[in-house]
Amino acid sequence: MLDLDSLRQKMLFLGLSDGQLQQVASIARTRTFRQGETIVQREQLDDTLYVIERGSAELRVPDDEGSEQVVSVFEKGSYVDEGYAGDFFGEFSLVGLEAWSGSVISREKTVLLELKRDDLYELFSRDVDLQIGMILNIARVLSRRLRLRNRQT
């Protein structure tokens, strides 16, 4: 089972109780990726929310000339650090059924926690407070990402 202190430090799980963190830990799967390994392929349908345990990954999307550019970096961070992109990605897989617009590649040896959509939905159906807490945390990170993107333009 995953260490609850490790989960507690992640923005996605901010404010969850020990019991709720234990529920999340019970469905999480740990996977390790080598540097440069593809985590999610562009145009892939995916049903997973990924949480950075160690390392970092980047989202690459094709530009007008057909080469890829890095548009986001995901790394283990602090929720008080205004500059970080977030320690999770794949949150759109919880609500949308669209393929990825880019590829996610590990920037170094990276350890991820994988949370499958159906497993999360099952937890959410049993604990509405868990659902609300996680959805609010996702919204906070998306808001921060948008604010940072707006500052860059």
pLDDT in the model for residue 66 = 78
The Cα–Cα gap between 70 and 127 comes to: 37
Domain count of the chain? 1
User: Which domain covers residue 18, as residue numbers?
Assistant: 4-152
For residue range 23-67, list pLDDT tens digits in order: 999 999 999 999 999 999 999 889 999 999 999 999 999 888 878
43: amino acid identity, one letter? E
Name the nearest CA neighbour of 112 among 150, 66, 76: 76
Asked if 101 and 90 touch (Cβ cutoff 8 Å), the reply is no
- The answer to pTM > 0.85 is yes
Those residues of the chain that have pLDDT short of 50 are 78-80, 82-84
Q: What is the pLDDT of residue 93?
A: 83
In this structure, what CATH number is given to the domain that contains residue 40? 2.60.120.10
**Whole-number pLDDT of residue 148:** 73
Task: Tell me if 105 sits within 8 A of 38, measured CB to CB.
Answer: yes
| Helix H or strand E segment including 101 | none
Burial of 20 (0-12, 13-18, 19+ CB in 10 A): buried
